[in-house]
Structure 1
Amino acid sequence: MSQTITFEDFTKVDLRVGTIIEVTDFPEARNPAYQLTIDFGDLGVRKSSAQITTLYSKAGLLNRQIVAVINFPKKQIATFMSECLVLGAVNGNAVILLNPENNVKNGSTVA
């Protein structure tokens, strides 16, 4: 288990739902990854790098809703600037994306 945080610490994390609108290969990444473009509705469009090639095809990711942290600082990953962190559960060497059970408005808060 990780370090214990307070509820106040948790409330600082801005978790939102977005829809993947573009997926491209990321050959410069150290580990196999995709570059994702994600629509967060009124919050705009953001990009992220995700090591999810084991379970997901590019076509299968298009128009899929995901959950992401959108208030981390931008992070340089090889030649790419990641603007949010897509969340998933680690299962061995694979990552299973977290997503709402039903479609919701892009930009919806995760509580």
Structure 2
Amino acid sequence: MSETITFEDFSKIDLRVGTVIEVNDFPKARKPAYQLTIDFGDLGIKKTSAQITALYSKEDLLDRQIVANVNFAEKQIANFRSQCLVIGAVDSEKVILLSPEEQVPNGTPIR
């Protein structure tokens, strides 16, 4: 288990639902990855890199709703600026994306 945090610490994390609107290969990444463009509704469009090629094809991801942290500081990955972090469960080096069971508006907060 990780270090214990306070509710105040947790409340700083902004998790939102978004829809993947574009998926591209990311050949400059050190490990196989995609570049995702995600629509977060009123929060706008954000881009990220995700090492999820083991379980997901580009076609699987397009139009899929996902959960992401939208208030991380941007991170430079090779020649790409990642603006959010897609959330998933990690199992034996594979990432299983978290997503709502039903369609919800883009930008819906996770509490």
**Same fold by TM-score greater than 0.5:** yes
**Other-structure match for 2:65:** 65
CA deviations over 1:22-74 (Å, ceiling 9, x no partner) = 00000000000000000000100000000000000001100000000000110
Backbone CA RMSD of aligned residues = 0.4
**Other-structure match for 1:84:** 84
Secondary structure in structure 2 of the residue aligned to 1:9? helix
Secondary structure in structure 1 of the residue aligned to 2:59? helix
Fraction of identical pairs, as percent: 69
Taking the aligned partners of 1:38 and 1:46, their CA distance within structure 2 comes to 5
**Other-structure match for 2:98:** 98
Q: Which runs of 5+ in 2 are unaligned?
A: none
Secondary structure in structure 2 of the residue aligned to 1:8? helix
Residue correspondence of structure 1 range 8-87 to structure 2 within 5 A: 8-87=8-87
Taking the aligned partners of 1:91 and 1:79, their CA distance within structure 2 comes to 28
Q: Which runs of 4+ in 1 moved over 6 A?
A: none
Q: Which runs of 5+ in 1 are unaligned?
A: none
Taking the aligned partners of 1:81 and 1:4, their CA distance within structure 2 comes to 30
Question: What's the TM-score once normalised by structure 1's chain length?
Answer: 0.99
Alignment-mate amino acid for residue 49 of structure 1:
S
| Pairing 1:109–2:109 present | yes
Using the TM superposition, give the Cα deviation of residue 93 of structure 1 relative to its aligned residue in structure 2, in angstroms.
Answer: 1.5
